[in-house]
Amino acid sequence: MSTRVVVDPVTRIEGHLRVEAILDDHNVIGDAISSGTMWRGIEVILQGRDPRDAWAFCERICGVCTTVHALASVRAVENAVGITIPKNAEIIRNIMALTQYVQDHVIHFYHLHALDWVDIVSALKADPAATAGLAQKVSPSWPTSSPGYFSDIKNTIKKFVDSGQLGIFQNAYWGHPAYKLPPEANLMAVAHYLEALKWQKEVIKIHTIFGGKNPHPHYLVGGVACAINMQGDNAINMERLEYVRDLIKGAQQIVEGLYVPDLMAIASFYPEWTTYGGGIGNYMAYGDIPQNGINDPSHFRFPRGIILNKNLSEVLPVDLADANQIQEQVDHSWYKYPNGKKALHPWEGVTDPDYTGPQPPYAQLDEKATYSFVKAPRWKGHAMEVGPLARLLVGFASGRTDIKDVVVDALGKLKLTPAALFSTLGRTAARGLETKLAAGWLLEEYDRLIANLKAGDTVTADTKFWDPKTWPADCKGFGPEEAPRGALGHWIHIKDEKIANYQIVVPSTWNASPKDGQGQRGAYEAALIGTPMADPKRPVEILRTIHSFDPCLACATHVTSPDGETLAEVVVR
């Protein structure tokens, strides 16, 4: 007799996600469905607007991975009309993107995912002196690791528990048999959770310096919105640039002194999780952090490519403009395509919601029917996983020594083979290793910027194609990016100076996709299969695998006219 476990909503993510897992008689997941339960209609809002404004709308799809949609959007417009941005603009965009990686990944590990492995209440049993000894061994370069410090943290947790109001630690599965960390490791992790919470608001000041604010820093078609005057007071000067360097050094300290050591320590207690969560085994990266312009993927810090069936001996090319490569299907999605179309390339894409699911609230969805507001993108018909693991695997298979070095070092310390990467724990580890790379690259990009400025180049934008009258009357473009959560693509069709069509395929569209017309599962669904559950009523195992992807389901949108009149509204309760 099979059992269906429903997790709705999945918490500690952005957006609204429902997961249903079907267990066999041994409480092992045999099938699963992933349902995005709210509609993103930003594509509808953008039609008819000025392409130069698109980034400001797109950026507000999400406030968690802020900046990424703005960058993909301006790249799409620039690709369509033929703009090449100045070198300083490329470097500053790289700095902002890498800053987002570091901040977002640290937040994910400590504040969204660690609680799947760390038992907060167990920390009350910890000996502060023993915890200090453990912390000094795990993170020897981190300054706050005294017995008194951990005693204070323990008292703080006790006040939470005694009050009956656990606040941010409420409604978890404390005491679950799947938790394996000793009390001292749990206390150390909680302390570092709180430290990372304080730190993350500092590093994003880099976005404020170069983009004016965070969240949602400013961007510009043709470059970046900030001006540089090394001796001035009303632009980015040497004082502000030195401050950026200090923030980058601080980011390196928390990544190398806290995040990666904690990740390695926690992973050592859960070796079985290198055998669960492997999923579909197909990985895709668009590549990013250009060194010679966005049109030269051969000089990206993150390589571009495809890996099929876990075959690390071959990296296949991906072409975002090829209508036969990337297509979106809606066989199991709450959308309709015109003229019976089954799959569309984003340039021809349609965002026409068609909710045919059960009337909420409902006990379960029908996996044989339509069951998600997420479409099903495919590469040459293949379901793909995107994200940090995909990026590291493509880099590893491409022979990139900087990427291979961090991967081989981590596997050696954990006494694992590369096959362990194809798992829930491998996905979690990949994000930490990528953060170490990103923090190092941040300083290298900063040094590139300073060297260019010292050479006398202070140009940050090229506006010769700013006037739409200089554009082709009808043109198409695409903006690729590697957002923290994976391959992100914006496709734009510009006609008569306005947006004729705009389609966005976000990382979680790839990973959270429902089944396609051929019955292929998306990455979330496939990764859950084969996972044993200790207690189906407390499905922490489901959260471990789903959170390892760092889901970001974009929020619902109400479409309004310029006068505020509601034109369309989709409500799912």
Q: Does the pLDDT of residue 524 top 50, yes or no?
A: yes
- Residue 14 appears among annotated catalytic residues: yes
Separation CA 513–CA 99 (nearest Å): 28
* CB under 8 A, 24+ apart: contacts of 187-190: 187/123, 187/126, 187/128, 187/131, 187/150, 187/153, 187/154, 187/157, 188/131, 188/134, 188/135, 188/138, 188/150, 188/262, 189/114, 189/118, 189/123, 189/262, 189/266, 190/118, 190/120, 190/123, 190/153, 190/157
Predicted confidence (pLDDT) per residue in 73-131, tens digit: 999 999 999 999 999 999 999 999 999 999 999 999 999 999 999 998 899 999 999 99
Give the phi and the psi of residue 174 in degrees, each rounded to 5: -60, 135
Integer Rg of the chain from CA: 24
The residue from 12, 20, 52, 62 that is catalytic is: 62
- Helices (runs of H) and strands (runs of E) counted in the chain: 16, 15
The residue from 12, 16, 69, 93 that is catalytic is: 69
The per-residue DSSP string of 270-317 comes to: -GGGGSS--TT--EEE--EEESS-TT-GGGEEE--EEE-TT-TT--B-
Angle value at C-alpha 59, between 49 and 81, nearest 5 degrees: 50
Task: Count the Cβ atoms, other than its own, within 10 Å of residue 141.
Answer: 11
Q: Does the pLDDT of residue 560 top 70, yes or no?
A: no
- Residue 555 appears among annotated catalytic residues: yes
Separation CA 39–CA 555 (nearest Å): 7
Question: Could you tell me the pLDDT band of residue 182, with boundaries at 50, 70 and 90?
Answer: very high
The per-residue DSSP string of 144-183 comes to: ---HHHHHHHHHHHHHHHHHT--GGG-S--TT-TT----H
Residue 322 near residue 331, CB atoms below 8 Å: no
The residue from 12, 18, 65, 333 that is catalytic is: 65
The residue from 14, 43, 481, 525 that is catalytic is: 14
Separation CA 326–CA 306 (nearest Å): 12
Question: Could you tell me the pLDDT band of residue 55, with boundaries at 50, 70 and 90?
Answer: very high
Q: According to the model, what pLDDT value does residue 163 have?
A: 81
Residue 297's Cβ-side half-sphere holds a number of Cα atoms within 13 Å equal to 17
Q: Which tokens hold the place of 494?
A: 């510009």
Separation CA 493–CA 51 (nearest Å): 9
Q: Does the pLDDT of residue 563 top 90, yes or no?
A: no
- Residue 485 appears among annotated catalytic residues: yes
Question: Could you tell me the pLDDT band of residue 145, with boundaries at 50, 70 and 90?
Answer: very high
Q: According to the model, what pLDDT value does residue 557 have?
A: 35
- Residue 508 appears among annotated catalytic residues: yes
- Residue 58 appears among annotated catalytic residues: no
Q: According to the model, what pLDDT value does residue 569 have?
A: 52
Predicted confidence (pLDDT) per residue in 373-402, tens digit: 999 999 999 999 999 999 999 999 999 999
Separation CA 522–CA 514 (nearest Å): 5
In our burial notation (b when 16+ CB lie closer than 10 A, e otherwise), range 483-520 reads bbbbbbbbbbbbeeeebebbbbbbbbbbbbbbbbeeeb
Provide the edge-to-edge strand list for the sheet that holds 29-36.
3-7, 17-23, 29-36
Residue 66 near residue 59, CB atoms below 8 Å: yes
Q: Which tokens hold the place of 301?
A: 């810090």
- Residue 475 appears among annotated catalytic residues: no
Separation CA 79–CA 59 (nearest Å): 18
Q: According to the model, what pLDDT value does residue 38 have?
A: 84
The residue from 139, 398, 508, 513 that is catalytic is: 508
Q: Which tokens hold the place of 26?
A: 């041994």
Residue 231 near residue 85, CB atoms below 8 Å: no
Separation CA 336–CA 338 (nearest Å): 7
| Residues linked to residue 16 through DSSP beta bridges, in sequence order | none
Report the run of H or E that residue 507 belongs to, with start and end.
helix 507-511
Q: How far is CA 244 from the centre of its chain?
A: 24
Separation CA 238–CA 267 (nearest Å): 42
- Read off the pLDDT of each residue in 193-197 and give the average, rounded to a whole number: 95
Q: What is the mean pLDDT of the chain?
A: 93
